[in-house]
């Protein structure tokens, strides 16, 4: 089986979609006996992770040449030429890894697209009108022109059916997994170095994710303050790790008003390779998002055997299963009570993590490669 990937995100994005693209390509390469991989990208960022990934796969990378290598014509190449090239190269499968497929159809090269989430339709208030309509048109075109659709969770599958009107039988769920960094041994020397670097001399709770409205950092800060009021001797620090946005200003203002400046630390530029160490050292992880297509931080936390509290509903409960706590982030008392449990109830935390290995087995690269192969074979 020869597999072509629309791999722009693998070489140009270093958070969610990029991590997914690199994970899938690496899993297929490692666990399937493919006849060849073709990785199409309009460019490669000058970024350590992109360059390392390129060095590993440079013989399989295909970039635009000639007139298509300049400016806006790269977009034309990506949308109009790469599928045709995959057909010419006798690919059996063309897999769009990030919600899109290029134009064209040929029965000998089957088309598959991964849809990550439809949050822009479920929560339209967070997205400009023009963006919502562009996304909907792109996503629906990809779904209708594909031979099969991969949803990263049962929640996303349900949303594809509800919002795009796609038949259920066309959609298969294949989960995603965590980066290999989360499977390396956590050395004591490195942990001590990061403790000094970030001044982590107190127990801390960790949030990882972009600091934006729908992820509810503001509600998390309010609940954290309430937990402090209920536990006057508590010395826990709350650390937020994520990309800075306009919304962060509101979060910082709330922190000042609540008089917890000394208890909250915001880190906007943490190297990706340091995240597993921060997870490992945390007393617990908090992920208070209203809605996610999957919720990879929940899985990252469990992989590091760190207990986690997540927002109720959506795919986060698929990622965490029975091994996480859940609460409504808009119910401050409820969320504060669960934060307190996360910190203080050691038997609860131990119980949640008991048997987590069986849960995590659903998200290994070998299992996911096998699930992807099943989808590929279903259309051949």
Per-position pLDDT tens, the chain of length 380: 999 999 999 999 988 899 999 999 999 999 999 999 999 999 999 999 999 999 999 999 999 998 888 888 999 999 999 999 999 999 999 999 999 999 999 999 999 999 999 999 999 998 999 999 999 999 999 999 999 999 999 999 999 999 999 999 999 999 999 998 899 888 888 888 888 999 899 999 999 999 999 899 999 999 999 999 999 999 999 999 998 899 999 999 999 999 999 999 999 989 988 999 999 999 999 999 989 999 999 999 999 999 999 999 889 999 999 999 999 999 999 999 999 999 999 999 999 999 999 999 999 999 999 999 999 999 99
Nearest by Cα to 32 from 360, 358, 374 = 374
Q: In what order do the strands lie in the sheet with 308-311?
A: 264-267, 237-241, 204-208, 284-287, 308-311, 325-327
Q: CATH code for 181-362?
A: 3.40.50.2000
Q: Please report the pLDDT score of residue 15 as a whole number.
A: 84
How would you write the chain as a 3-class SS string? CEEEEECHHHHHCCCHHHHHHHHHHHHHHHHCCCCEEEEECCCCCCCHHHHHHHHHHCCCEECCCHHHHCCCHHHHHHHHCHHHHHHHCCCCEEEECCCCCCCCCECCEEEEEEECCCHHHHCHHHCCHHHHHHHHHHHHHHHHCCCEEEECCHHHHHHHHHHHCCCHHHEEECCCCCCHHHHCCCCHHHHHHHHHHHCCCCCEEEEECCCCHHHCHHHHHHHHHHHHHHCCCCCCEEEEECCCCCHHHHHHHHHHHCCCHHHEEEECCCCHHHHHHHHHHCCEEEECCCCCCCCHHHHHHHHCCCCEEEECCCCHHHHHHHHCEEECCCCHHHHHHHHHHHHHCHHHHHHHHCCHHHHHHHHCHHHHHHHHHHHHHHHC
The pTM for the full model equals 0.93
Q: Which neighbouring-strand residues pair with 111?
A: 94
Q: Please report the pLDDT score of residue 317 as a whole number.
A: 94
Q: Is the alpha carbon torsion for 326, 285, 227, 266 positive or negative?
A: negative
Domain with CATH 3.40.50.2000 in the chain: 2-177+364-379, 181-362
State the CATH class of domain 2-177+364-379: alpha beta
Q: Please report the pLDDT score of residue 190 as a whole number.
A: 86
């Amino acid at each position: 089986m020869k597999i072509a990937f629309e791999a722009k995100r693998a070489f140009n994005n270093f958070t969610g979609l990029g991590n997914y693209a690199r994970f899938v390509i690496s899993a297929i390469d490692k666990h399937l006996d493919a006849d060849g991989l073709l990785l199409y990208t309009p460019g490669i960022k000058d970024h350590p992770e992109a360059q390392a990934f390129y060095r590993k796969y440079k013989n399989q990378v295909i970039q635009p040449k000639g007139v298509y290598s300049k400016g806006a014509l790269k977009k034309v190449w990506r949308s109009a030429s790469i599928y045709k090239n995959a057909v010419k190269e006798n690919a059996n499968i063309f897999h769009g890894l990030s919600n899109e497929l290029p134009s064209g159809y040929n029965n000998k090269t089957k088309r598959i697209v991964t849809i990550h989430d439809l949050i822009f339709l479920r929560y339209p208030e967070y997205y400009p009108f023009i963006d919502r309509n562009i996304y909907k048109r792109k996503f629906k075109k990809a779904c209708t022109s594909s031979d099969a659709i991969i949803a990263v969770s049962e929640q996303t599958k349900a949303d594809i059916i509800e919002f795009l009107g796609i038949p259920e039988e066309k959609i298969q769920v294949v989960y995603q997994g965590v980066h290999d960094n989360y499977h390396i041994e956590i050395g004591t020397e490195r942990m001590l170095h990061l403790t000094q670097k970030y001044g982590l001399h107190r127990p801390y709770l960790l949030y990882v994710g972009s600091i934006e409205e729908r992820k509810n950092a503001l509600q998390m800060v309010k609940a954290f303050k309430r937990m402090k009021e209920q536990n006057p001797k508590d010395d826990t620090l709350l650390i937020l790790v994520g990309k800075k946005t306009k919304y962060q200003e509101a979060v910082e203002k709330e922190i000042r008003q609540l008089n917890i400046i000394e208890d909250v630390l915001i880190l906007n530029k943490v190297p990706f390779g340091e995240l597993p160490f921060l997870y490992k050292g945390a007393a617990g992880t908090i992920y208070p998002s209203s809605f996610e297509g999957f919720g990879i931080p929940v899985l990252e936390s469990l992989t590091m055997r760190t207990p986690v509290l997540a927002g109720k509903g959506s795919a986060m409960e698929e990622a965490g299963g029975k091994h996480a706590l859940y609460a409504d982030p808009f119910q401050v008392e409820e969320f504060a009570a669960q934060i307190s449990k996360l910190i203080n109830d050691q038997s609860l935390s131990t119980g949640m993590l008991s048997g987590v290995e069986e849960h995590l087995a659903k998200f290994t690269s070998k299992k996911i490669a096998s699930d992807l192969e099943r989808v590929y074979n279903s259309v051949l």
